[in-house]
Homo-oligomer: A and B are copies of this chain.
Amino acid sequence: MPGKLKRLLIGRPMKSTEIEGEKLSKLKALAILSSDALSSVAYGTEQILIVLMAAGFAALWYSIPISIAVLGLLTILIVSYRQTIFAYPSGGGAYIVAKDNLGLSPSLLAGGSLLVDYILTVAVSASAGTDAITSAFPVLHDHRVLIAVFMILILTIMNLRGVTESASILAVPIYLFVVAIYVLIICGVINYFTGGAHAAAPEFGKTISNVSLFLLLKAFSSGCSALTGVEAMSNAIPNFRQPSDKNAAATLMMMGILLAGMFIGISLLAYWYGIKPAAEETVVSQIAESTFGRGTLYYIIQGVTAVILILAANTAYSAFPLLAFMLAKDKFMPHAFMVRGDRLGFSNGIIFLSILSAVLVMVFQGNTENLIPLYAVGVFIPFTLSQLGMMIRWIKLKPAGWMLKLFINTVGMLTTLSITLIFIFTKFSQIWVIFIFLPLVVYMFMRIQQHYSNTADQLRIDLFNEKPIAKGNTVIIPVAGVTRVVLNTVSYAKTLSDNVVAVYVGFDDESVRKIEQRWNEWNPGVRLIILKSRYRSILGPLRKFIDTVEWKKAESDHITILIPQFITKHWWQNLLHNQSSLMIRAYLINRKDVVVATVPYHMDR
């Protein structure tokens, strides 16, 4: 049953050799890797306007230069990440670049920062998507957490089904969104120039006395939230078809151009139409309404926007498992993240990401807006480290034309560093927690690696001098009565050793007398030892007995505990039997140097 359900949800298992078929074409890669970046068009301009509005309506004209600054930053990031892709064609996220050029701690900081970030992305996107749904259907408002968790579940299943399949499904809404926004921008511009909608726009270039540098920086950093998805492409190079580096670079360019056009288009229209940010209606909604009125086109735009906000999470689903895999390969995360699931994805990474983001959604009861600055700063730290790493690389390697490359990355590094500092400066009260949390994550990575290296040291053997040696074996069988299960176990024990004893732990004289009598009648050729338990514990007396045997036996002998166990036909029947054998097994295997074997007797009714 669970097996069938799994097949139904995620599909048939795939052979390891089918992995080439799971590689992505440029168009599909764009669909699943750019959803995070492109979705920021839905709120990027609005974030800027909200900050500026603090200085009044007249200050809103600043959104145009700020948007241009954001675009400039986008250009720098894309050009420099393009360089990274060609320099690290097997996948060059911030973690790899930092590890290669900056050393251990910065690389772990970059990796940990991104992992945390992806978890936040999923939680925030699922909550944002839920808000879009509950705005349309207010009756659902009480079930926000449930809806958000359900969305995470859907994303999980889709991603467990595999990369190409989710790309095929996701491509439709994402391209619809892009087309819809461009139609909106084109119609909006035509509308404006044909004089269809002339609202009062704030006067451009007018100096506003109460606009401080701090406010402008805050607005700029809010606009930079739109750039959070840029990193994903360079992490996911291995998922592209050959030549994967060229394809990744081209896809990155494509994404940059689409994003730039939509972002500046929406910012311009918002300015021209004199739109004010409002709590009850988004900026995109206001522009769409001014352009088309509340008709079919308006609702299409609102619909695809809601869908894209949810799908933004999918970028994290592509990038997290790959990054976790890389960290696990270097032994900073559990091996489990290296295992490919039935559909060739790193399913443990997918499931881990889902669980943690669902927990976040539940803890914050779906109100994850406060996490947004946290995840913006969480992405600019690795941006900066990655640029710095590239700078050092160019200085060390000095390839042809390295001066230009160094220049590009230096500009990139300085810009992203500035933005990081602006974030810290303008939003410290919302992000300080990350400076406690990230060092803890890095410390955890190091402890994990230390454990793995300790384990490897302890398990390593000298192939030429350490060979197996056969020794003696004392077999102990705990029995609860004279039954077929015990008969089965004693038969087996006789094949192992001549040194077999049965042990009975008795709580009262009556039961002891009874088993002694039956054992003697049966006379199976194995001695029965009686242990009395005044405290009605089986483990205590058994442990003491094993201690005695350990002390008496020859230095080199093994001790084997054979546990007679009957296996019920149906699982629920287990509830009817005291699971002493499981308890004995769990206890002994962890505490004592004995071999514990379960000798099963399968019931047929």
Contact = CB atoms under 8 A, between A and B. Distances in A.
A60 B268 CA distance: 80
Contacts of A463: 482, 518, 521-522
Contact of A459 (B470, B484, B490): B484
Given A15-B535, A470-B494, A491-B470, A458 B600 contact: no
A301 interface: no
B575 A334 contact: yes
Contacts of A497: 495
B578 A339 contact: yes
A598 interface: yes
A496 B496 contact: yes
A166 to B, nearest CB: 20
A523 B463 CA distance: 8
Interface residues of A, number: 84
Given A534-B15, A599-B595, A487 B468 contact: yes
B451 A576 contact: yes
B495 A472 contact: yes
Contacts of A357: none
A454 interface: yes
B459 A485 contact: yes
Contacts of A342: 535
B597 A595 contact: yes
Interface in A534-572: 534-537, 558, 560, 562, 565-568
A56 interface: no
Contact of A468 (B452, B459, B491, B589): B491
A413 to B, nearest CB: 35
A597 B470 contact: no
Given A16-B508, A535-B13, A598 B596 contact: yes
Interface in A156-185: none
Contacts of A8: none
A281 interface: no
A536 B340 contact: yes
A467 B524 contact: yes
Contact of A455 (B566, B585, B600): B566
Contacts of A593: 600, 602
A281 to B, nearest CB: 34
Nearest to A335: B578
A585 B563 CA distance: 14
A605 B597 CA distance: 26
Given A458-B603, A567-B589, A468 B339 contact: no
A595 B595 contact: no
Interface string A309-348: 0000000000000000000000000111001101000000
Interface in A461-496: 461, 463-464, 466-473, 482-485, 487, 490-496
A491 B469 contact: yes
B471 A459 contact: no
A21 to B, nearest CB: 14
A452 B595 contact: no
A432 to B, nearest CB: 28
A72 interface: no
Given A16-B507, A334-B575, A468-B524, A492 B459 contact: no
6 contacts: A14-B535, A339-B536, A458-B566, A473-B496, A492-B595, A596-B597
Given A16-B507, A458-B603, A467-B524, 14 more contacts: A13-B535, A15-B534, A16-B536, A342-B535, A454-B603, A455-B568, A463-B518, A464-B521, A468-B490, A469-B494, A470-B491, A472-B495, A596-B597, A596-B600
